[in-house]
Every structure is written in C-alpha cells, then in structure tokens.
Amino acid sequence: MSDHDLFPNGWEPTTRYPDPAVQSIDPAFDAYRLPLAGVERLATGMRWSEGPVWFGDARHLLWSDIPNNRIMRWNEETGQVSEFRSPSNFANGHTRDRQGRLVSCEHGGRRITRTEYDGTITTLMDSFEGKRLNSPNDIIVKSNGTIWFSDPVFGILGNYEGYKSAPEIGQNVYCLDPETGDAIVVADDILGPNGLCFSPDESILYIVESRGVPTRKILAYDVGKDGHTLSNKRVLIDAGSGTPDGMRCDVDGNLWCGWGMGDPDLDGVMIFAPDGKPIGRIALPERCANLCFGGRANSRLFMAASQSVYALYVNVAGVQGG
C-alpha cells in the first residue's frame, strides 16, 4: 500500500485497527506496534515544525514553528494548542537538561539557551574561540549533564528560518559543559551535521550527515571512556533517496528517525534496529523533521512533520535525554 492509497485526500484519522500507516518492514518491529493504537494529528497550521520536547510534569509538548518565529505548546489534558513563546529567536531543536529545564537551539541568536525556572533565558553558548556559531540545529543532554549539539549553516542561508549571514566557523558538533561554560568540538568532518542521539548506554553517538555525498547518511561513533572523545566513525545507515533529520533511540537501542522529502511515499518515520537494519515505518502525509518520546510511560511518539504534529502510542519507551 502506498501513501497515495493511505492519504488520497490528505490525512484523516484511521477508522480501523491496526492502523495501516504503521508498517512492519521486518517481523522484529511487530513487538513495538500496538494493534489498538493509531496515528493522531494533534495540531496543524504551522509553516515548519521542528524540535519537539515533552514536559511530563506540565503535561504538555513544546515544538518550534521556525519560519513563524515561535515555540508552540500542546496541552495533553485539554488538547489546546497555543503559543508558548513568540518571538522565539527562530528556535529549532529543544531538549531538557537533567534538572528539567528547557534547552534550545536558536537560529536567530546563533546560540544555545536555557530557560530557567522563572522563565528567564540564559545564553549558554553563542561562539567558539571568538567566532560566532552558525545556526545550532539539534540538541541532546548526556546523563552527566553535558549538552551536545550540531551547528550546520542552514539557519543563516536565508531570511526564512533566521537571518542571512556568512558563516564564521566550520560546521561542527559540540559538547558543552553548562556548569563551566567550556566547550569542545567532538566532530568536525561531517557534511551538514543535523540530528543526533545517544544509544541507551551512551556508548554510541549517532549523527545525521544531511549533506552527505552522494547520499545522506546516519553515522555512528564510539564514545570514549572520558565521555566525550569520539572514534571509529562509520556509516550505520545509507539513506539512499531518503532524508533523515531528527532522531531518537528507544530503550532497546532502535533508532526512530524523521524521514521524507522528494518521494511522498517516503514521508514519515523510519525505524532501524541497532545494527542499522530497517524494521518499521510510520507513514505520514508530510515529511517528518524531528520527533521525541513522551507521555505517561515515555512511550508516546510525538512527530513534528512540516505543517503538523502527530502522535502514536508505541510498545517501547524512549531513552531519556536523547
């Protein structure tokens, strides 16, 4: 069944279970599907949805609507959608630190920020060795509190998702200690670093190479015993005609990756086993840029997809912190 069959006139909630939009490519994915759960659309009307992050204590989801320069909020209890912050300085990716605070990538400010408990915003990093960052994109927090983020140039290429400007520095991946303000480059050889996440035991860091030649790739690195040195760079997944973007790991080590662009039959989420084998797919009528786990048991997948945000209950929990 193609996406054209699933979505002939745009998206509508499934009228039957199991939802045909949730597809097993390999029998290994069957264990992660819930036969009585379907894809739901929580919100629509954005220009470009990105960076979802779950706040279980507040029972809400936040995400970026980058071109509209705002952060949106969906309330789990009421289903209401509202603006959380506008303007947002063209915020993109978000996560939470180990103290529960919002940590964000901003294209407009070319910086990493933390929203304090009282709502004030602290700049954690906006330059490296005297040069401005490009446009921080995706972000995760390790169990030791360090903040890891990618810094491609996408947000300064024009005035749609930030402010057009010339880059001053390479497209790097950084590890930042928010307590000391010290930062190091952990990877400087990736063509367009984008989404990133750790394996459940944090021994592997996955990074999307979104300008890979000839195809986009998901790279894997071993994380050294010092907690930040990367080695053994390898291609875990060659995306072929697909477009991986943001991704997260579940507790079994599977990668859930936003996917799409070009062929509409690729739009949605791809799920890969730890060895890189594709095992499942969630078809959506829009390209999925990024996703996160949340909900009561951290087993509800929230998908930021172009103009909308979708959700699906799955039979596995996501890894905390990315």
Is 137 labeled as ligand-binding? Answer: yes
Task: Please state, in angstroms and rounded to a whole number, the distance separating the CA atoms of residues 48 and 288.
Answer: 10
- CB contact set of 91 (below 8 Å; sequence gap of 6+): 51, 64, 66, 71, 85, 104, 105, 106, 107, 108
Is 194 labeled as ligand-binding? Answer: yes
Asked about 118 being catalytic, the answer comes back as no
Is 134 labeled as ligand-binding? Answer: no
Computed on alpha carbons and rounded to an integer, the radius of gyration of the chain in Å comes to 18
The strand pairing partners of 313, in sequence order, are 300
Q: In 3-state terms, what secondary structure has residue 27?
A: helix
DSSP 252-299: TS-EEEEE-SSSGGG-EEEEE-TTS-EEEEEE-SS---EEEEESTTS-
21 DSSP 8-state letter: T
Nearest to 60 by CA among 19, 113, 102, 24: 102
Per-residue tokens: 308: 């909308």
Task: Please state, in angstroms and rounded to a whole number, the distance separating the CA atoms of residues 3 and 286.
Answer: 10
**Catalytic annotation, pick one of 3, 245, 250, 267:** 245
- Enzyme catalytic residues: 245
Please enumerate, by residue number, every residue annotated as part of a binding site for a divalent metal cation: 50, 194, 245
Please enumerate, by residue number, every residue annotated as part of a binding site for substrate: 137
Please enumerate, by residue number, every residue annotated as part of a binding site: 50, 137, 194, 245
